[in-house]
Amino acid sequence: MNTDLHGGYQLMKEIVSLVREADLEQCEIMIFPSFIHLKTFDNTINGSGIVLGAQNCHFAPSGAYTGEISLEMLKSIPVKYVLIGHSERRQYFAETNESVAQKTKAAVEQEVHAIVCVGETLEERQSEKHFEVVGLQVRTALEGLSAQELQSIVIAYEPVWAIGTGLTASADQAQEMHAYIRGLVQESHGSPAAEAIRILYGGSVKPANATELFSQADIDGGLIGGASLKAEDFLGIIRA
């Protein structure tokens, strides 16, 4: 929840300009602004190669859900990706593993790529329940999906305890959890699906730590928060 309409537009123009100047064809760049920016950004990113996504969605196609936004509405912009179950949605807006699974299924049915967010709190990490917590989140979100449907899913691991707390997850800690998540996918959907699925890391990624994180075997990219509000920092992470 950052920038007004004008500030967001200026930031997006700066990002688009930097991306066009750089040779960044080897990675996919997605932007997930607030809902008020979506249509403006769709017009701004034309020809840049940047893909547009939304921060949240409702599972129903329409109905009496005041304040919500449906996947059909997002597709009309058009939006290709949607974040589901972000740690802040779980923490502040009572999202559960079950509601995340419901939204994920809806996104698959509507042919919108879901980025399913999972992660543990500091208390869960300290009590050594992090694998149990993340495992349940992943299994619930992917339950009932076929290997073919899984092709439209991205998983993002967010160690909640390392976001805005001053604590930092090491590259080894991040890799350990990513490898665990990939192993869960292998158990449920087979080796080809596990090898193909992208697992992003979302724990305070910055230009200074991006290269080390992205060099890990099972970290396929980043879910960037505060660093994306500075175009130069965001570009530095993309270059990494």
The number of domains in the chain is: 1
Q: What is the pLDDT of residues 2-15, one digit of tens each?
A: 999 999 999 999 99
Q: What's the confidence (pLDDT) of residue 166? A: 66
Dist. CA 211–CA 28, nearest whole Å: 16
Determine contact, residues 177/157, Cβ cutoff 8 Å.
yes
Active site residues: 86, 158
Q: Is the pLDDT of residue 43 over 80?
A: yes
In b/e form, how buried is each residue of 40-53, taking b as 16+ CB within 10 angstroms? ebeebbeebebebb
Alpha-carbon distances of 87 from 43, 65, 146, rounded to whole Å: 29, 22, 25
Q: What is the pLDDT of residues 143-159, one digit of tens each?
A: 999 999 999 999 999 99
Q: Is the pLDDT of residue 168 over 80?
A: no
- CA-nearest of 239, 155, 237, 240 to 204 is 237
Higher pLDDT, 25 or 51: 51
Q: Is the pLDDT of residue 238 over 80?
A: yes
Order of strands across the sheet with 221-222? 30-31, 51-54, 81-84, 113-118, 153-157, 198-201, 221-222
| H or E, element range at 154 | strand 153-157
| Residue found by looking up tokens 């699906």 in the block | 193
CATH number (domain holding residue 81): 3.20.20.70
- CA-nearest of 15, 40, 5, 6 to 229 is 15
Q: What's the confidence (pLDDT) of residue 109? A: 97
Q: What's the confidence (pLDDT) of residue 144? A: 95
Domain that holds residue 124: 5-239
Q: What's the confidence (pLDDT) of residue 92? A: 95
